């Protein structure tokens, strides 16, 4: 199995957009296993493939209920917003208040190639939005007010839109 390492900001791969996964083969399943191992090793609740240097649209998460694997996830809709503080494995010692949907409807393909549409709430919804941001090269610092960006010296390192 290939050895992956967690990428830390300002690693440029964290700003790239991940590519759609065309098929789920043994190599993809091995990547998913590595991602979940790294997530659990770091006692995290979510991880996106770009965080280990792989530009594929894959997310793993476990908020204490079960391991969920999402390939090519897309948010169909969301509602009820809430500001909460978030951290990120790729931005150690950085916490940012981020406004996210509390309820979320998502479509994705699981590791067994089954297409799923499912509702997520609260922490699960927040984690999914955070990880999908990673798939699009967006980090929590991009959600921070200008004053916080200056405090953390991130003003010149934001995602170019």
What domain range is 27 assigned to? 12-151
State the sign of the Cα–Cα–Cα–Cα dihedral 140, 22, 32, 118.
Answer: positive
CATH of the domain at 62: 3.90.45.10
Q: Is 131 annotated in the active site?
A: yes
57 in any annotated domain? yes
> What burial class does residue 39 get, using C-beta atoms within 10 Å of its C-beta: 0-12 exposed, 13-18 middle, 19+ buried?
buried
Residue 86, Cα to own-chain centre: how many angstroms? 12
Provide the domain count of the chain: 1
pLDDT at 161: 44
27 in any annotated domain? yes
pLDDT at 98: 95
Identified catalytic residue from 41, 86, 115, 131? 131
161 in any annotated domain? no
Please give the average pLDDT of every successive group of 10 residues along the chain, which has 161 residues: 90 98 95 97 98 98 96 97 95 94 97 96 98 97 80 56 44
């Amino acid at each position: 199995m290939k050895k992956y390492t967690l990428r830390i900001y300002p690693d440029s791969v964290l700003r790239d957009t991940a590519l759609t996964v065309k098929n789920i083969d043994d190599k993809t399943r091995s990547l998913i296993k590595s991602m979940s191992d790294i997530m659990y090793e770091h006692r995290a609740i979510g991880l996106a493939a770009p965080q280990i240097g792989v530009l594929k649209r894959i997310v793993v998460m476990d908020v204490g209920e079960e391991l969920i694997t999402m390939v090519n996830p897309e948010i169909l809709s969301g509602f009820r917003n809430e500001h909460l503080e978030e951290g990120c494995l790729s931005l150690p010692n950085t916490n940012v208040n981020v406004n996210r949907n509390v309820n979320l409807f998502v479509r994705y393909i699981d590791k067994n190639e089954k297409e799923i549409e499912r509702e997520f709430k609260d922490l699960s919804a927040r984690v999914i939005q955070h990880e999908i941001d990673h798939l699009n090269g967006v980090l929590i610092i991009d959600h921070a007010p200008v004053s916080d960006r200056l405090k953390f010296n991130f003003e010149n390192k934001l995602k170019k839109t």
